[in-house]
Structure 1
Amino acid sequence: MFDLTTAPPGRRHAVVIGGSIAGLLAARVLAPHFERVSILERDRLADQPEFRKGVPQARHFHLLLARGLMILEQLLPGIEADLQAGGAVPLEWGAEALWFLPAGWAPRYYSGLRTYSLSRDLLEWCVRRRVRSIKNIAFRTTAEVIELLSDPGRSRISGVRVRCSQRAESAPGAVESLSADLVVDASGRNTRMPQWLEALGYGSLEQTKINAFMGYATRYYARPENFHGQWKSLNVFRKPPAMLRGGALFPLEGDRWIVTLGGGARDYPPTDEAGYLEFARSLRSPLLYETIQGARPVSPIYGFQNAENCLRHYERLPRWPERLVVLGDATCAFNPLYGQGITMAGRGALLLERCLQEQPGAELTGLGQRFQKNLAELNTYPWLMATGEDFRYPVTEGGQRSMRTRFMHWYMDRVQMLATEKASMFTTYIEVVNMLKPPGVFFQPEIAAGVLAKAFRRQPADSPSPPGGFSTPMRTGDPSALAGPASPDGRY
């Protein structure tokens, strides 16, 4: 994959806190630049796809965006074949998925944009297997980082203090110190980094939290043998403030369906049998309810209500300790509804790779602060997209609604109207959703003219039944090809 002899002298050991997707990809990009890399993970890690408590949202649907798939294949060549071998289901976004947008049903056609539908457990396991095969990366499980170590002047991080709950060579609960030339925090939205930095004298960290009080309930079903629907997945969007409820069905490995129901403004879906089905029946279209009411459940109903957006402004601290990097949800945790987390973890890893390549010698001075400032810039568009949508709920707390927010709601309502009418417009829409194109494309002259033509139109009334068959001509070219391109350096 790469030449491990390229690590500069003096870059001996890098430590990654957290063994989820962000931590795994960070370790991958660190490996060519350090003699050894240690991943410290609190959970046990199974040798098969398996739920673990350190990823409580793993039981709910995870969207692998096209940009995320491209990054995974770039960093871990062959991973797409691993996903296929594990049973991940190919999904053509225009032809094989039904999208009931707030403005209506999207057209059916070959969009040229394909990803995979799969469980978080399978995805993480495939990534972890690839990372495990890298010779200078080691995993330490049941290891909890409890403190950062620093030099006497507290200007440079020198390692971490770890509590080992279960290790053969140490008693449970024993604490040890690990020295490191670089520490990367990828421990997720529940990171303790703000407290650690404050304890080292770096002051209180500014954080922006925006909460639409969304909750989810998920259940798995066996795909009925007699299911003959001409689609693989179904997504019924919310339409706030009038309709706060939505739901989605996606195929998974093992001939299963994953069905996730969600509600905003504390309209949480129930986790009992009758309440779950009644919630599904109440959606804007009855199709999801009609599809699952006769299907055989193969799991309990799992609830999840920690969907707050949280942006930690490390880039605004007046001082930053050398040899420390924070990425993934530990920096910017999105409402999971929008499926951005995995892809942004990959983009953060690519950014870290670029920063390391730009600073090839043993000297790491300034790398951490430069990375945090660039990552803050990288997070801007996804953050605005997620929080902008969450501001549609009247009870949303945090941040500020502005004239710009209201204008963007008005503008995007009309973009979605166009997306239900023109296949080319829906292609642009899903390319933005998949982070293949920046949101700025919606303001190109042709699209802006279409929006202005609908300036005084309201969104049409719902038509609960989807269009039958293909409503538009198929797009020429290979329908399995990924739409794009997207630049490989972590930027749009």
Structure 2
Amino acid sequence: MVASTSLSEQHAVVIGGSMAGLLAARVLLNHFGRVTVLERDRIPDQPKPRSGVPQSHHVHILLTQGQRILEQLFPGLEAELEAAGAPQVNWTHDLRWFSIWGWSYQTSSDLNTHPCSRILLEWLIHRRLEQYDHLKFLTSTQAIGLVMNAQNTIVTGVQIQTEQGLDTLKADLVVDASGRNSALPKWLTQLGYAAPTQTMINSFLGYSSRWYQIPEGWEAPWKVMLIHTKPPDHRRSAVLYPVEENRWVVTLAGVGHDYPPIDETDFLHFAQSLRSHEIYNAIQQAQPLSPIYSYRRTDNCWQHYEDLQRFPGHLVAIGDAVCAFNPVYAQGMTVAALGAQTLDQCLSLMVQKQKTALQGFPSKFHKQLAKMLEVPWLLATSEDLRWPTTVGSTPNWQTRLMHQYLDLVVRASLNRSYVSQTFWEVMHMVKSPKVLFDPRIFLPALGLG
């Protein structure tokens, strides 16, 4: 493919049509003349589970920052969610959280989202993207390799397997958004490049989920219920999450190989064994709508593309293909949105600085992406490192000190509105964790104010 000096005349290919791939495709539309998304599954006409997204049966929380970014990318999406029956939740008022110290403080804030199933959210976004004339979905299509230039320095396309057979798709930029199972490290070594180093931290957490119909006439002073673990003895947690069509998704989790069962009786016994019986009491009154689904691949895994000294041109990775988090911390979709935002910003900056915008782009993008990933990685892994059964890293004195301080912040948040709101703004990635060291947080946490 002959390179153009204008991105508006170029073609970008996204490998993977889940959340990270869809959001990457949306921002690529701001810059490229054509965008193609490769997806192994067929896209259903209605919101239905796809075989390529087995975790879609579980709770997927879109944090406030994530919903705000999605609304910027797809204006009116919140109204579509509301029209589809997604409830509205104010995360400091409608969440009932049983923390290590007790029940959370409930107060109003601007941390609002429309909880929904991942199935519905991806379907609505896919429907929006189909409205763009210069975007194309190739479904039932799998990327099986990269096409390189004669010098083996620049990616010029993707080798694909379709229902009709093998083919080659030319591209000016390839974005790998194929998730945890990305083949990119293997492809790099096959091409004579080094694979990225990998950091993995695994608390051996597993979870099981079931869908319920909310009982008719149900009334409670909360919409979302979260029962937390309490290290080192209480390894079990749960979330009850409202979604469209007046349903609950209930996910039970256990850390350190304490996996929740998939048998109905044992599922209820596990719920009854939590530090609070609130979720157990709720689902005892509700009608089950689904089987019990289980998921256990929950390690935090970061492929450090930002550290590679040699990397093919016109190729980047994004989403879980770069950094996958323990899903129990509900960061994945919001980090995917932040990753797409980073991609958009990096492309805009390079267009401003140089005419041939893709020259040196992979290195610049991966370094910026890594900076964005530092905070969610710290939040997720530091929690997993509370458990002695966690492998991949050992908590140092700084991590232990942070655990102690965050526990004090949580305790102060139980009876102070400002501390509570600020804490949840950090958890929803609206504010930096640095704000937790403001005197208005620091002093109450230490019992001095």
Q: Which residue of 1 aligns with 2:433?
A: 439
Matching residue within 244, 252, 257 for 1:261: 252
Matching residue within 229, 233, 239 for 1:242: 233
Tell me whether 1:152 sits opposite 2:150 in the alignment: yes
Q: Shift of residue 204 of structure 1?
A: 3.0
Q: Which residue of 2 aligns with 1:78?
A: 76
Matching residue within 64, 67, 70 for 2:65: 67
Instruction: Kindly indicate whether the alpha-carbon contact (under 8 Å) linking 2:94 and 2:224 is maintained by their aligned counterparts in 1.
Output: yes
Q: Which residue of 1 aligns with 2:364?
A: 370
Instruction: Kindly indicate whether the alpha-carbon contact (under 8 Å) linking 2:16 and 2:177 is maintained by their aligned counterparts in 1.
Output: yes
Question: 1:72-116 deviations in whole A, cap 9, x for unaligned?
Answer: 011111111111111111001122221111121111222232111
Q: Which amino acid aligns with 1:51?
A: P
Q: Which amino acid aligns with 1:334?
A: F
RMSD (Å), alpha carbons: 1.6
Q: Which residue of 1 aligns with 2:323?
A: 332
Instruction: Kindly indicate whether the alpha-carbon contact (under 8 Å) linking 1:218 and 1:260 is maintained by their aligned counterparts in 2.
Output: yes
Matching residue within 437, 442, 448 for 1:448: 442
SS at match of 2:23: helix
Q: Which residue of 1 aligns with 2:287?
A: 296
Q: Which residue of 2 aligns with 1:417?
A: 411
Q: Which residue of 2 aligns with 1:38?
A: 36
Q: Which residue of 1 aligns with 2:86?
A: 88
Instruction: Kindly indicate whether the alpha-carbon contact (under 8 Å) linking 2:29 and 2:35 is maintained by their aligned counterparts in 1.
Output: yes
Q: Shift of residue 452 of structure 1?
A: 2.6
SS at match of 1:370: helix
1:36-435 matches, cutoff 5 A: 36-164=34-162, 166=163, 170=164, 174-360=165-351, 361-435=355-429
How many correspondences in the alignment?
A: 443
Instruction: Kindly indicate whether the alpha-carbon contact (under 8 Å) linking 2:347 and 2:357 is maintained by their aligned counterparts in 1.
Output: no
Equivalent pairs: percent with the same residue? 46
CA–CA distance in structure 2, aligned partners of residues 294 and 21 of structure 1: 34
SS at match of 1:421: coil
Q: Shift of residue 258 of structure 1?
A: 0.7
Q: Shift of residue 7 of structure 1?
A: 9.5
Q: Shift of residue 9 of structure 1?
A: 6.1
Instruction: Kindly indicate whether the alpha-carbon contact (under 8 Å) linking 1:11 and 1:181 is maintained by their aligned counterparts in 2.
Output: no
Specify every segment of 5 or more residues in structure 2 that has no aligned partner in the other structure, as ranges.
none
Q: Shift of residue 335 of structure 1?
A: 0.5
| Superposition misfits of 4+ residues, deviation over 3 angstroms | none
CA–CA distance in structure 1, aligned partners of residues 246 and 441 of structure 2: 40
Normalised TM-score (structure 2): 0.96
SS at match of 2:96: strand
CA–CA distance in structure 1, aligned partners of residues 338 and 25 of structure 2: 14
CA–CA distance in structure 1, aligned partners of residues 5 and 254 of structure 2: 49
1:328 and 1:184, CA in 2 relative to 1: closer, same or farther beyond 3 A?
Answer: same
CA–CA distance in structure 2, aligned partners of residues 231 and 10 of structure 1: 49
Q: Shift of residue 363 of structure 1?
A: 4.0
CA–CA distance in structure 2, aligned partners of residues 315 and 96 of structure 1: 39
Normalised TM-score (structure 1): 0.88
